[in-house]
Every structure is written in C-alpha cells, then in structure tokens.
Homo-oligomer: A and B are copies of this chain.
C-alpha cells in the first residue's frame, strides 16, 4: 500500500487504568471533530491471553505479558504511517477473542488502553500523549458503583479485583504517567464521599492538568488574571514543582458557568481557523443512565482538541468544515 504524506493521521494516545474515564474523555473529541474523522482503537484487543488463561496463569490484564506488545507496536506504527491494519479483537463480554478486523486510519486516530505509552516505539508514534490518572479513591468509587450497579458484583469481589491488580498497576501502569504530555487528574472536593457507596455528583469534581514541556504553549494569562478573584481562584496555572518544565493547570468543579465559558472562549480564540468545529456542548458524562455535564471535563476535552489542531497545523493542514475523507492543505 502506498501512502502520501497528507494521509498521515494525527495520533493521540489516551491511556489509563480500566475505569479511569478514557471513554468519557474521548466522547468529547467525537462532539468536536465528528465520528467521520476519528478512528478509535482499544488496545485491549491485543490481549494475548484470554480471561481463562490469565486466571489459570495468575496474570492480570495489566501485565504486559498478557498482551501482544510487539504486534501493538507494529500496528500503531502502521496506522501512524496512514496504513490500514488487520487487527485482533477481544470481546469483553465473553473474555475471548473474535475474528480480526480491518481498520483504516481516519484524520485522527485515538488509541485507548492500558499500554499506549509502555515502550519508546509506541510513545514515538503519537502526536499527543494523554494519561488519565484520577485520584485513587475516586477511581475505586467509580469502579464499585459501576461493578455493583451494572454487573451485580459485591463490594468484596470488587475489592478482590482491586487488590489483585495493585502490583501490576504499580509496576506497569504508573511509570507510563511520566511520558504523558497531558496528565489528567480528576479529584474529589472535600465531603464528596458519603457513608457506604454513596458519592456526590461527579460534576463537582476538580481537575488537575499537568501540561508537559513538549506541548506548544497556550497563553491564558488574561483569563488567569481575571479569575484571580477567588481564594483560591477557580482556575490556576503554576509551574509543576515535580516535573521539569511542566505546568499545572487546575480547574475547580466550583468554577462558575461564566468563568468556564470565558476559558472555553479563550481556548477557541487560539484556534480561530477552526471555529467551525465548535460544538454545542461538551463535558457530558453518564451517571448511571442519566446524562450530566462537568465544566472541568469539558475544558480538558477542549484542551486536547486544541493540541490536535496544533499538531495538524504544524503539518500545514487544517480540519476542514465539512467532513472530508481526505484532508487538504489548509
């Protein structure tokens, strides 16, 4: 298959533990860019051992040994070059493998999963590396809520899963955070957790974004100055004390709709050429079967979109107004 330079998609990694909110985050990209521009791939399809084999060998899905990392590397690199791949499939419902599937890269390729930043080869394939790292208690609360309500699990069974995965999580997932251009940490306000498994609305969650030094800068100084009123102000930007050259952007769940809209507006001002992409609303998430909205989530999704647009512009291309199967020079 021959490919031209213009066919190379924008590659974005969305990594994180299962239940860390990857799917919810990606939904915002669909609202902005449209399904016709996005190829959305889950690395769980590269499981090498099915559920029964993992159980027999005492290996969790979080162990790279349970996954075909080599094939993952080859196929992610192929997609980055604009090539169509024939990828394996894994069925979460049954824990077994299905027939292979042809996947052709659209303008944006989203690679979700547990291992998108595991190896240098994988990391090198992406234009933007996002890692979801919700505060641990929050992640557990999500898991308990989902697994008990939707899958009929008991709390001790959920705890068993959490405990069994701790070591692999620490060993194989945590180190990948260091390679994220954008590290996304949702965390709860005080008194978020009620007795038992009750929790407050996720709309009230705060988010802490670590913007890596490799990201093109975005000037938010006016906005931050105008938001300086609160104590602390609901939107804050500061150098990251722990990571060289990185910044921390914090957005509180208590941010006012006006202030959130202002930040939204400001980010869109930085992508004037792409106003046509602006959707009615992002930041939606499912609370059980109820659709709710979170400003910190919306602004996180928008920042990712901003960086995808920047990556596209760096190639001298834009995302055109109408869905087009082949992008043209902007």
Using a CB–CB cutoff of 8 Å, the interface residues on chain A facing chain B are: 136-138, 140-141, 144, 148, 152-157, 159-160, 162-163, 166, 193-199
Are A197 and B197 closer than 8 Å at their CB atoms?
Answer: yes
Which residues of B are found within 8 Å of A138, using beta-carbon distances?
A: 156
User: Cα distance A206–B63 when bound, in Å?
Assistant: 34
A195: contacting residue among B136, B140, B148, B162, CB under 8 A: B148
User: Cα distance A152–B195 when bound, in Å?
Assistant: 5
A interface majority secondary structure? helix
Are A199 and B144 closer than 8 Å at their CB atoms?
Answer: no
Which residues of B are found within 8 Å of A155, using beta-carbon distances?
A: 140-141, 144, 155, 196-197
Q: How far is the CB of A204 from chain B (nearest CB, A)?
A: 15
Q: How far is the CB of A190 from chain B (nearest CB, A)?
A: 12
User: Taking A162-B163, A163-B163, A166-B163 as contacts, is the C-beta distance between A197 and B136 under 8 angstroms?
Assistant: no
Which residues of B are found within 8 Å of A141, using beta-carbon distances?
A: 154-156
User: Cα distance A105–B148 when bound, in Å?
Assistant: 49
User: Cα distance A138–B136 when bound, in Å?
Assistant: 23
Are A157 and B193 closer than 8 Å at their CB atoms?
Answer: yes
User: Cα distance A195–B148 when bound, in Å?
Assistant: 6
Q: How far is the CB of A148 from chain B (nearest CB, A)?
A: 5
Which residues of B are found within 8 Å of A193, using beta-carbon distances?
A: 154, 156-157
Are B156 and A144 closer than 8 Å at their CB atoms?
Answer: yes
Which residues of B are found within 8 Å of A162, using beta-carbon distances?
A: 159, 163
Q: How far is the CB of A188 from chain B (nearest CB, A)?
A: 9
User: Taking A141-B154, A154-B141, A166-B166 as contacts, is the C-beta distance between A196 and B148 under 8 angstroms?
Assistant: yes
Which residues of B are found within 8 Å of A159, using beta-carbon distances?
A: 137, 140, 144, 159, 162
- 28 A-B interface contacts by CB (under 8 A): A136-B160, A137-B156, A137-B159, A140-B155, A140-B156, A140-B159, A140-B160, A141-B154, A141-B156, A144-B156, A144-B159, A148-B195, A148-B196, A152-B195, A153-B195, A154-B193, A154-B194, A154-B195, A154-B196, A154-B198, A155-B155, A155-B197, A156-B193, A159-B159, A162-B163, A163-B166, A196-B197, A197-B197
